[in-house]
Structure 1
């Protein structure tokens, strides 16, 4: 248990909207085929922005939303699988673009679509060490760079975007708890090389299993029931996955907030984008849960208390 809370949220999504009908002109598919199987109607495509730009713009939105001082940020963690350069890290360059003058700790992590939840735990642990006071945690992805538009099973699923949060220590107890794990994908069920490759059926089975398990376990670990959390913010990969999880755990679908129809799967950006669109200005307890390539999966319970 870590005494950490979320004090700011923000996002950035590119202006260009790619609809299902747009995709039907370049690949053998239809709006009905995509929407009935995924719940996706459209997604965003970055035309001039790269992964760094997306991350910076989301971070800037997060900071401006609560008039946060960049001078108070002494840790930046970026979750991404689509960074264009091996080094320097996206986080390092975000620090520069934000105009942070001090030399602070910055690094990227790769845990695919669970990356943001992983990054939250890592940043929370570093804050709990006492060496840092404020962390900027970002999920940023330009997935259209790794899409094969001859593969209708994957190219219709993904979009570009970024989301960001600022977390701080708090004197209030029982603020944050995490479950983050991985299962080696030795059979290459979900990989990203030049393009995304995925065995959709196997990924679906894995996702329903681990999302259900993660929600149940993190509630039990915290001695909570689903009524003790205000909202579930799940990785937005497929609406059918979320419906299956809700049904298996007997949780009303209304407990989950959704935006997959607008953005598709944005990998590590999915959860923070959704979190930024959670329009509750009161103190809230949020349950975040995700899964991704690797295989990775994880969950977090944190208090959201925007400044």
Structure 2
């Protein structure tokens, strides 16, 4: 089905507090050189004690409204991608509805880890193209610092906090969405998780600390094997060649991982937009933050074709090819 939805506005927010590699070297056995060599990350932003996923999301939406002069009163659905919601319930989406006093809207949180933002965009496109909705806020917001184990040097060097928001609305004449592709490998979920009620997965006991646990080697192997092949499938669905892409915007997990994905897919690393160098791995928020950086650096222009690819915990992944046009 041909898309009838267009991305019409973007907003982002990161907390003020910075956590540098040198700061981490005072906490665990690591160094600035060691972290940069293995991840490419230089620093990350950390939410304050009174900042939560809803706080960051609201600030990103305020940024969207200020930059675009877009009204929010007629938003008829709110989708929030997060793994670090303020509460089990109510949802962050419901908190957003309350803050902005949007009278008639649906509101849901979705859990797709680092693929959450592309899942949210995919759902928004589907809901608008079907005719069920006209204007949807898609938000990614994460406060990963609150669930990071700062005694584990293999994971604490990675994660930061941030939020991004897109407005997606009905536009039959100039749609943004060209193709999508997704997949899931639930058996691999044990390689990156955070416990809640269950203490076992696939029959195996879990670390029940409530902090994130990651087998980075296995996640790396899965991503660098799965994403390049999936990008080929996505391009075929769009009837495009990789040379027609202007920008590749993957989840900013780790710069070395992105380099491997680019090498295997044949997409030049120079065409990859990432956010991990200044912000670390911000899970679902990393793609909108990377796009904002691309806009700020005047790289992304109206009419450009972007391949967005979210992947992570689940293990799950979803890629989109979009045409960027905020006019």
1:256-297 Cα offsets, whole Å, 9 max, x none, are: 112211001000111111122222352322110021111011
More off after superposition, 269-278 vs 131-140: 269-278
Distance 1:244 1:281 in 2: 26
CA distances 1:84-118 after superposition (whole Å, capped 9, x unpaired): 21111101111121232x22111000000001111
In the alignment, which residue of structure 1 is the partner of 2:19?
18
Distance 2:82 2:218 in 1: 23
Per-residue deviation, 1:186? 5.3
Say how many residue pairs are matched.
306
Distance 1:88 1:187, change over 3 A: closer
Matched, 1:158 2:178: no
- Contact map agreement 2:77 2:133 (CA 8 A) in 1: yes
Residues 76 and 135, structure 1, Cα contact 8 Å, conserved in 2: yes
TM-score when normalising by structure 1: 0.96
Which residue in 2 is equivalent to 1:282?
A: 302
| Superposition RMSD in Å | 1.4
- Displacement of 1:127 in angstroms is 1.0
Q: How far apart, in 2, do the equivalents of 1:3 and 1:278 lie?
A: 25
> Are 1:197 and 2:217 matched, yes or no?
no
SS at structure 1 position matched to 2:309? strand
Contact 2:275 2:287 in 1 (8 A): no
The 5-angstrom pairing of residues 296-307 of structure 1 reads 296-307=316-327
Gaps of 5+ in 2: 196-209
- Give the match for residue 122 of structure 1: 123
Instruction: Summarize deviations over 1:102-160 as a string: whole Å, max 9, x none.
Output: 22111000000001111111111111121211111010000001111110000110000
- Could you state the TM-score of these two structures normalised by the residue count of structure 2? 0.90
Q: What is the CA-CA distance between 1:173 and the residue it aligns to?
A: 6.7
Q: Which residue is equivalent to 1:171?
A: 172
The aligned residue for residue 32 of structure 1 is 33
**2:176–2:324: 8 Å Cα contact kept in structure 1?**
no
Note the C-alpha offset of 1:62. 1.3
Change (3 A) 1:15 1:109: same
Distance 1:186 1:223 in 2: 31
Q: What are the Cα deviations for residues 201-237 of structure 1, in whole angstroms up to 9, with x where unaligned? A: 1010011112212211110111101222221111000
Question: Relative to structure 1, is the Cα distance of residues 187 and 161 closer, same or farther in structure 2, using a 3 angstrom cutoff?
Answer: closer
What's the secondary structure of 1:88's corresponding residue? Answer: coil
CA contact (8 A) 1:214 1:289 kept: no
